[in-house]
Structure 1
Amino acid sequence: MRLKGLRRSRNVEDRRRSGGRGVRGAGIGGVGMIVVLAIGYFAGIDVTPLLQGGGQVQTSAPRELSAEEERAADFSARVLASTEEVWSDLMPQQVGQEYHPPVMVLYSGITRSPCGGASGATGPFYCPADRKAYLDTEFFATLSQRLGARGDFAAAYVIAHEVAHHVQNELGILGQVSEARQASSERQANALTVRLELQADCLSGVWAQAVDSLLEPGDLDEALNAARRIGDDHLQRQAGRVPQPHTFTHGTSEQRSRWFATGYDSGQMGACDTFGTEQL
């Protein structure tokens, strides 16, 4: 992804120098499930089960950031800026509504939010309560090394997906789904969450189409591969389990990649109505 010359977003809150540091654990073990951690707390990839023994969180004094961490922060700020430009244009054009961008919180190891505490093991998440997206930039290494989703556009897709949850919040969709989930059985609540997450994948595709001029050969393949790698069925198989559709919260690999492609091919938010179709 060509980000040189693209501005950095000012909507970044950097907490990486303060306090929490590190989640330690052994090799892969258990299901790397993608989950909704609580009502109103929409997570990316929960990698806690990937760390045998649950991992051990360490704390430390304020520290200096490495060059790699600074590059990750710069990358994230520029990708976030691209989402601000895209949604500030598309939302008024396509749904007649002004866009108010979220703040992205960069942290390292552990942090707090109104939606609860978080560690690097929870993966990126969006908290509707404070309208902020939370990202431990070390997750990019997890995405590439443990989940097999390599490439800068795979990382950009993750950021775009969390911003897409903010778009859903702007449209009132998150609140509606949260209310519906509270009145539903666990199976029904999971099914609603799948539709919510697939819509976020589709909206990520709409963003990708809008920044097509920034893409390099292979970028779309990186995003599609990332979508497949974090499908519920793939993660359950990776854990040595038979996929259990009733436990899915984000959709299958095929569904995630297909809905991303739907958004990219159409460039239209209206194509992302996952709640209005029977067949996902």
Structure 2
Amino acid sequence: MRFRRDANLDPSQVTDMRGRSMGGPVIAGGGGIGVVALVIFVLYTVLSGGSGDLGSLGSLDGQSVSTGPPSTLDQDCRTGQDANERQDCRIVADVNSIQAYWSRVVQGYKPAQTVFYTGATQTGCGAASSQVGPFYCPVDKRVYIDLGFFDELQSRFGAQGGPFAEAYVLAHEYGHHIQDLLGTIGRARQGSGPEGGSVRTELQADCYAGVWANHAVETGLIEDLTQADINSGIDAAGAVGDDRIQERTQGQIDKESWTHGSSEQRRRWFSKGYETGSARQCDTFTGSI
């Protein structure tokens, strides 16, 4: 996956909070966790496979974010060549491309900020630590990610990794933003288990990620996508399937506790989005999945 060397990046779509610490404790286990924050954790903690620590979310009361080193993204991430050389600039370029595509096909599209953070951060959905993995918060319309997750994607989840695997993660999160804009994200609350609303919502976000991938080169930022790139995205989708995570962490599979779908489902719905290039083909809420 390569970016056009002379493509112009827009780092204003990313808020860089790396190196800034959150003052005050992140309250554990129910003490101070609001209902909204808990629901958001369960429904929108993407790629955690339902294995995240609820104690990583807590009340924002009395907390503050201390100042840290100023961001240099606006200076360091200006062109596609910068994206080819630096991971954080590459993520900026991914965000730019994803939003460029969806702004063309979703009427009244409203951009969503991506927030880089380290360790823990404040969000509209509560105080979150990097343990929850990348997630979209519909309260403040932001995508949150500790870039260290991409190392975990390989070391913890066993994915091959690589630039397009990273792009898939971002595209999945923005899939939730599209659901939010279209008013369908609330359907995640409809039922539980392998056919429940949470799984269907996550699989649709995978499909939306594939739709963007089909059109990624058209956005003018990405030079080309090879089959090897697409394969790495499919591999990443499969690596974070509920069944695979449960088998690795628990030694057994419990379908009734699924929140994101099986490895096969995640690969299949990403592939369907990529092969068709049409969001209309991403109706995971009708029929069997």
Taking the aligned partners of 2:92 and 2:266, their CA distance within structure 1 comes to: 25
- Name the structure 2 match of 1:151: 162
- Name the structure 2 match of 1:5: 6
- Name the structure 1 match of 2:17: 15
Per the alignment, do residues 79 and 135 of structure 1 end up closer, same or farther by CA in structure 2, a change over 3 Å counting? same
Taking the aligned partners of 2:176 and 2:52, their CA distance within structure 1 comes to: 25
Cα deviations by residue, 1:248-273 (Å, 9 ceiling, x for unpaired): 00000000000000000111111000
TM-aligned CA deviation for residue 159 of structure 1: 0.4
Residue 126 of structure 2 is aligned to residue 116 of structure 1: yes
Taking the aligned partners of 2:141 and 2:94, their CA distance within structure 1 comes to: 18
TM-aligned CA deviation for residue 47 of structure 1: 8.0
Per the alignment, do residues 37 and 252 of structure 1 end up closer, same or farther by CA in structure 2, a change over 3 Å counting? farther
SS at match of 1:38: helix
TM-aligned CA deviation for residue 17 of structure 1: 2.7
Q: CA RMSD in A?
A: 2.9
1:25-40 superposed matches below 5 A: 38-40=38-40
TM-aligned CA deviation for residue 81 of structure 1: 0.2
Taking the aligned partners of 1:138 and 1:65, their CA distance within structure 2 comes to: 17
Residue 227 of structure 2 is aligned to residue 233 of structure 1: no
- Name the structure 1 match of 2:216: 211
- Is the contact made by 1:47 and 1:121 (CA closer than 8 Å) also made in structure 2? no
Per the alignment, do residues 6 and 119 of structure 1 end up closer, same or farther by CA in structure 2, a change over 3 Å counting? farther
Taking the aligned partners of 1:260 and 1:166, their CA distance within structure 2 comes to: 17
Cα deviations by residue, 1:162-182 (Å, 9 ceiling, x for unpaired): 01100110100113x15x44x
Q: Unaligned regions of 5+ residues in structure 2, if any?
A: 24-35, 57-64, 77-84, 218-222
Tell me which amino acid in the other structure corresponds to 1:14. D
TM-aligned CA deviation for residue 145 of structure 1: 2.3
- Name the structure 2 match of 1:88: 103
- Name the structure 2 match of 1:62: 68
Tell me which amino acid in the other structure corresponds to 1:155. E
- Is the contact made by 1:47 and 1:123 (CA closer than 8 Å) also made in structure 2? no
TM-aligned CA deviation for residue 216 of structure 1: 3.0
TM-score normalised by the chain length of structure 1? 0.79
Per the alignment, do residues 15 and 166 of structure 1 end up closer, same or farther by CA in structure 2, a change over 3 Å counting? same
Per the alignment, do residues 145 and 266 of structure 1 end up closer, same or farther by CA in structure 2, a change over 3 Å counting? same
Taking the aligned partners of 1:275 and 1:217, their CA distance within structure 2 comes to: 29
Taking the aligned partners of 2:245 and 2:162, their CA distance within structure 1 comes to: 19
Per the alignment, do residues 7 and 148 of structure 1 end up closer, same or farther by CA in structure 2, a change over 3 Å counting? farther
TM-aligned CA deviation for residue 195 of structure 1: 0.2
Taking the aligned partners of 1:40 and 1:146, their CA distance within structure 2 comes to: 23
Taking the aligned partners of 1:142 and 1:5, their CA distance within structure 2 comes to: 31
Cα deviations by residue, 1:224-267 (Å, 9 ceiling, x for unpaired): 00011000000011114211111100000000000000000111
Taking the aligned partners of 1:257 and 1:264, their CA distance within structure 2 comes to: 11
Taking the aligned partners of 1:142 and 1:65, their CA distance within structure 2 comes to: 24
Tell me which amino acid in the other structure corresponds to 1:257. R
Cα deviations by residue, 1:6-33 (Å, 9 ceiling, x for unpaired): 4323211111131159xxxxxxxxxxxx
- Is the contact made by 1:7 and 1:81 (CA closer than 8 Å) also made in structure 2? no
Q: Unaligned regions of 5+ residues in structure 1, if any?
A: 22-35, 92-96
TM-aligned CA deviation for residue 144 of structure 1: 2.1
Residue 288 of structure 2 is aligned to residue 279 of structure 1: yes
Residue 260 of structure 2 is aligned to residue 250 of structure 1: yes
SS at match of 1:112: strand
Taking the aligned partners of 2:236 and 2:111, their CA distance within structure 1 comes to: 24
- Is the contact made by 1:110 and 1:117 (CA closer than 8 Å) also made in structure 2? yes
